Amino acid sequence: MTEHPLPPQHSQALTGTSLPALVPAQARLGLVAIFGSTFFQLVGYFMLMPLLLLRLKGDGVSTALAGVFVATGWLGVFAMTPFASAITQRLGRRPSLWLAAFVPVIAITGFLFSNSLVLWFVCILIEGMAAGLRWVLAEAIVAEFSPAHQRGRNVGIFETMVGTTFVLGPLVLVWFGAQSDAALWLALALTVFGLGWSLLIPRLPAAADAHDAKVGLSGVWHALRLHPLIMTVGFVGGFFESGLTSILPLYGLALGLGATAAALLVSASGLGSAIMMLPAGLLADRLAHHPTQRWGDARATRLKIMRV
C-alpha cells in the first residue's frame, strides 16, 4: 500500500492537520483509531475480493468477464485517488474517513441481497473508490500523527499491518469456504466493525495551508512535477502489486488449483509485502537521524533507500 507517496503540502491537505499542533494524547488516539479501523476494513476487503471472484467463476462466468470485474474495483481505486485530497479539503478529514468506511457497508449489502451482475459491477466500483479514499487518507494520517524520529517505524508498522490483511483475508475465506454465505456475512461484519472503530478518530485543528494547497488533478500534476521519481516509482509499484493480487486467483484456477489454493495465492503475495515493510521503515529512521548525517538529511536518506 505504499504506492501513494505524497509531498508535505499534499499530505497536510489530506489530513487537515499539522503535526506541531497535535498533543501526544491526540496523536496516540489517532494512530490507534487509524490502525484498528483500517485493519478490520481491509481484512474484510481482501476476504471479499477473492470470494466474489470465485463465486463468479462458480456461477459459470467467463474468465475474461471475471477479470473485468476485478479490474473494475481497481478502476475505482484509480479514479478516486487523484481526488481524495479535494474531497477531504471540502468535507474534512474525519467525515471523509467516515464516508470511506460507510460506503463499503452499502456495497457489500448489495452483494448479499442481489444476484444482478450489473449491480455487482456498480458495487465493486464504489467499493474500490471508497478503498482508494481510505488508503490515501490513512497513510497520510499515520505519517502526520508520528513524531519525526519515529515516522519510518510507524509507517513501517502500519504497512506491515496492511500486508497482513492480504494474508488474513484469504485465510479467513478459506476457513469459512468460498461458497459459504457465512463468509460474505463475515466480510460485512468486519467492515461494519471497521466503521465503528473509525468513530474514535479525534477532531484535530486544520493545517495552515488546508484551504490553499493544490488538490485534485492539479495537485497530482504539481506533485509529479516536484517529485517525478517518487510519483513514477509509486505508480509502477502500485500497478504491479495491485495487478498481481487481482489475477492470482484466476491464475490458480487456470492451473487447475481448487478454490482454496487459488485464494491462498493472494496470501502468499501479501506475506512478502508484509515482511519488508517494518525493516525498511526502521532503516529509514536510523539512517535519516544518524548523529553525523552520514547519509544526508531525512529526505535525501529516504530517497536513497527508495532507489535501492
Please report which confidence band the pLDDT of residue 202 belongs to, taking 50, 70 and 90 as the band edges: confident
pLDDT at 39: 92
271 Cβ contact list (under 8 Å, min separation 6): 163, 166, 167
Angle value at C-alpha 276, between 280 and 251, nearest 5 degrees: 145
Whether the per-residue pLDDT at 190 is higher than 90: the answer is: yes
Hey, how many other C-beta atoms are within 10 angstroms of the C-beta on 216? 15
Which residue type does 297 have? Answer: D
pTM for this structure?
0.70
Q: CA–CA separation, 241 vs 3, rounded Å?
A: 9
Q: Which residue has the higher pLDDT, 121 or 66?
A: 121
> May I ask the CATH architecture of the domain 23-200+240-307?
Up-down Bundle (1.20)
pLDDT at 6: 40
CA distances from 194 to 40, 90, 180, 199, 241 (A): 5, 23, 22, 9, 24
Mean pLDDT to the nearest integer, 283-301: 70
Task: List the single range of 121-130, 163-172, 187-196, 297-306 with lowest mean pLDDT.
Answer: 297-306
Q: CA–CA separation, 76 vs 100, rounded Å?
A: 12
pLDDT at 71: 82
Domain layout of the chain by residue ranges: 23-200+240-307
**For the segment 238-274, what is each residue's pLDDT rounded down to a tens digit?**
666 666 666 777 777 777 777 667 767 766 766 766 6
pLDDT at 85: 78
Mean pLDDT to the nearest integer, 41-68: 85
Q: CA–CA separation, 158 vs 111, rounded Å?
A: 29
Mean pLDDT to the nearest integer, 74-90: 82
pLDDT at 11: 42
Length of the chain: 308
CB 281 within 8 A of CB 156: yes
pLDDT at 133: 87
